[in-house]
Amino acid sequence: MAKKASRFLRGARILPPPVSKRVGAADLIDRFYLAYNAGRLREGARLLAEKMLRPEVTVGLSLSGALTPAGLGISCVVPLIKAGFADWIVSTGANLYHDAHFGLGMAMHAGSPFLDDRVLREEGVVRIYDILFSYDVLLDTDAFFRRALEAEEFQAEMSTAEFHYRLGRYVAEREKALGLGEVSVLAAAHRYGVPVYTSSPGDSSIGMNVAAMRILDRGVKIDVSADVNETTAIVYGAKKGKGRSAVWIFGGGSPKNFMLQTEPQIQEVLGIEEKGHDYFLQITDARPDTGGLSGATPSEAVSWGKVDPDRLPDTVVCYLDSTVAMPLLTAYVLARAKKRPLKRLYDRRLELLDALKKEYLRAQAKK
């Protein structure tokens, strides 16, 4: 009598064909990324295309690390926004600041990480690892933001989403005047109604310029509580009815936690019954055992209420450099998933906030 095959041997057989020169990025992932971190990237790509990018899912994208200076804003984030694959964003302020260089027509150059930084300083060159640009790029970008912040519309208190939306219009106008096409995340987010939040608004050159204006009692006041409430309202709105919430995380840090804390805010702080985000995909090179993997793993996030325990199989962590993974995942979903109608969540912020407030009052009344 033949021995029954183990249930653990039901996975697809590893027997790929030879790689050909004509293979596309999506086929490369599906057919050749079969094990180790390549296997996790394939799982993540399929989670995105088959589940996270369904029309009823609201997708939050978080961006940490110096991604926009490397051109990933133009090459990946803008196409994702246009395709309806990123409904709301949490980013470091630095990514948005360096994104503006592109929208303003300023040059970033490929270089080397092995240069003498003392010589670069003498010659007015700034280095981000192997990316080089003139110090004048910083000064000219600062001047652009300071001129914008002098406008009457910025003499008010607002969330970072409203702040970035207004700034995005200025960048979009410059982008158009220079004939650059769609090269800026800020401009694309303004154009397509995607709210963009910064979890640490003072921690970037944009925040530094805001602070400089505040010395003279000019410019915008950032309402960080509005950011917490607006992002929470977005997630609560996504989960009502038959909707789902997905988080797509590049790196970790403050943007990751800020995106994930929306669920503990709903459950723990506001006392509204909820279970957590439904889908979780993170690209990271950090480790949980050193304390460097911010927010830790999806399974640990379950203990905080950040991830729905019933949806834990729909979570993937790829231990991989974001600059490698982002172009591959973008190419994959553009090839494998249908474009989605824009949710234009920026335009719905007040409506979503009102719904959250009503539910919070109902929860308080039950106590």
| Average pLDDT value for the chain | 95
Cα 222 from chain centroid?
Answer: 20
Q: Say yes or no to pLDDT of 366 above 90.
A: no
Tokens, residue 294: 């911010």
> For residue 133, how many other CB atoms are within 10 A of its CB?
20
Note the pLDDT of residue 2.
66
pLDDT band at 297 (very low <50, low <70, confident <90, very high): confident
User: Alpha carbon of 167 to those of 103, 148, 159, 347: distances in Å?
Assistant: 11, 7, 12, 16
Which pLDDT value is given to residue 312? Answer: 86
306 labelled catalytic: yes
102 has pLDDT over 60? yes
The pLDDT score that the predictor gives to residue 291 is 76
Give me 153's structure tokens: 């519309």
- List the strands of the sheet with 279-284, edge to edge: 196-197, 88-91, 57-63, 244-250, 279-284, 315-319
Place of tokens 């010659």: 123
Q: Which domains does the chain have, with CATH numbers?
A: 35-93+156-203+217-365 (3.40.910.10)
- Say how far apart CA 299 and CA 296 lie, in whole Å: 8
pLDDT digits (tens, 9 = 90+) for 301-351: 888 889 988 888 889 999 999 999 999 999 999 999 999 999 999 999 999
- Please report which confidence band the pLDDT of residue 182 belongs to, taking 50, 70 and 90 as the band edges: very high
Q: How much is the pTM?
A: 0.95
Q: Which of 4, 51, 240, 306 is catalytic?
A: 306
pLDDT of residue 295: 52
Indicate whether 242 pLDDT > 90: no
* pLDDT-derived band at 300, boundaries 50, 70, 90: confident
Block residue for tokens 């985000």: 277
Predicted pLDDT of residue 51: 97
First to last CA, the chain: 64
